[in-house]
Structures are given as structure tokens and as C-alpha cells.
Amino acid sequence: MQIDWWTLGLQAVNLLVLLWILKRFLFKPVAAIIAARQAEAARVLDEAATARDAATADRNAAQDERKRQEEQRQAAIQSATAEAEAAAAARMTAARHEVDSLRSEAAARIAEERKRLRHADRSAAEQLALDIATRLLDRLPPAARVAGFTAGLAEALAALPPATRDNIGRDGAALRLRAPRPLEAAERADCAGQLSAALGRPVTLAVDVDPSLLAGLELDLPEAIVRNSLKADLARIAEELAGHE
């Protein structure tokens, strides 16, 4: 077999020309297109990454905002709960104070009413005792309203302190004597005698009639008041009864 070197050389030249043409008009544009597409893809990827990062940041910001809002909501709930509990406690305290005040007022009113009733009962009892004593004395002789009381009055006068007794009836001053009725001359003389004996010197009497005494005698003196009467006895009994209530 013979090799045609000229033909082979031409074919080689043709191949080289073809390769040059392909390189110039095909490979370079395609490479440029590929490079441009790669750059575009890289740009798209970068934008996607940027968008992804922005989305991630937005998501994180949204989560942080939801967390902050939840914390604020929980804080608001806790604050509202605390305020409600404080208000309820204040209302309970105010209600207890009001109940205590009402209870105290009710107790005071009850005590005052009991006191009023006791006073009314005591007044009624005193009036009843006075009525009974008056009716009993009305059945006795008039002398019974005075007799027997003179000695007790003289004893009470003698029991006063010496300094007080020394000033009674000095310089002839009359002793103011109260009696339930006008005294007979004998009763007046007897009373003056016993009172003079109690003081150790003569005395004169100025008698005032006071039917409220019921029975007995009383001395109204600047230095002292000496009582020996049924009215005084009843008043003393009422005071003792009131002290035991």
C-alpha cells in the first residue's frame, strides 16, 4: 500500500483549519455562554442564599417577637392576677373591718339598750318600792314617819369627823332639818335635844317639810349632809343593786 503524503498533509491541514474554526466560532462562544450561565447561576445562588438568610433572620425575628409578646402577655396576666388578688384582699379586709364595725355598733346598741332597760326596770322598781312604802306608811300613825329616826340621825351626826362637828351650829346658826311632815312640838324638842347631845352644845333647828322623804329626817348643812330617811335607804339599796348588775 502506498501512502500519499500530499493527501495526508492536506487532510492534516484541513483538520487543523477545522479545529481553528471550531475553537474560534464554537468553543469560545460556548465557553462564554457556559461561563455566563455559571455566573448567573452563582448570582442566583447568592441571591437565594441572601434571601434564605433574610428569611432565616425574619423567622428568628418573628420568633423573638412572639417570645417577647408571650413574655409580655404572661407578665400582664401575672400583673392582672396580682392586682386582682390585692383588690380581693383589700375588699376582704374592708369587709372584715365593716363587719367588725357593725358588730361593735350592734354590741354597743345592745349594751345601751340593756342599760336603758335596766335603768327603766330599776326606775320602775324604785317607783314600786316608793309606792309600797307610801301605802304602808299611810296605814301607820303619823308619828311613825318620824319616831325612831331621830336617834339614828344623832348617831350619824356624832360619827362625823371632829373638825366637821366643831363647825356645825357655831355662833348660834340654826341646823337645817328636813322632815316628811311638820314636827310636833315634842318631836321638835326631842330632835333638838338628841342633836345637841351629839354635838356637845345646844343647837336650834329650822325645819323644812319634804314629803318625798316618806319617813325619817335629814340634815342639810354647809359642812355635810346627814341622811336617815326611808328615801335615802331606798336610793342606797337601788345603787347597791345597780353595782351588782
165-175 residue pLDDT tens: 888 877 778 89
Angle separating helix axes 149-158 and 185-199, nearest 10 degrees: 20
For position 117, what pLDDT does the model report?
A: 60
Rounded mean pLDDT, 97-116:
77
Pairing type for strands 216-220 and 175-179 reads: antiparallel
For position 207, what pLDDT does the model report?
A: 92
For position 129, what pLDDT does the model report?
A: 60
Range in 115-119, 129-133, 151-155, 231-235 with the lowest mean pLDDT: 129-133
pLDDT digits (tens, 9 = 90+) for 70-99: 888 888 888 878 887 888 788 888 878 887
In the structure, what pLDDT confidence band is assigned to residue 194 with cuts at 50, 70 and 90?
A: very high
pLDDT digits (tens, 9 = 90+) for 24-67: 666 666 667 777 777 777 787 777 778 788 878 888 888 888 88
pLDDT value at 176 more than 90 = yes
For position 84, what pLDDT does the model report?
A: 79
pLDDT value at 113 more than 80 = no
Q: Which of the pair, 101 or 183, is modelled with greater confidence?
A: 183
**Which residues make Cβ contacts (< 8 Å) with residue 200, sequence separation at least 6?**
165
For position 53, what pLDDT does the model report?
A: 81
Supply the mean pLDDT for the chain.
79
Rounded mean pLDDT, 111-131:
64
Q: Is the pTM of this model over 0.95?
A: no
For position 179, what pLDDT does the model report?
A: 92
Phi, psi of 168, deg, nearest 5: -80, 125
In the structure, what pLDDT confidence band is assigned to residue 178 with cuts at 50, 70 and 90?
A: very high
For position 72, what pLDDT does the model report?
A: 86
- β-bridge partners, 227: 218
For position 28, what pLDDT does the model report?
A: 67
What H or E segment, with its residue span, contains residue 225?
strand 225-229
Rounded mean pLDDT, 7-11:
74
In the structure, what pLDDT confidence band is assigned to residue 121 with cuts at 50, 70 and 90?
A: low
**CATH code reported for the domain at 142-243:** 3.30.2320
Pairing type for strands 175-179 and 225-229 reads: unpaired
For position 191, what pLDDT does the model report?
A: 93
Phi, psi of 131, deg, nearest 5: -65, -45
pLDDT digits (tens, 9 = 90+) for 197-220: 998 889 899 999 998 888 889 998
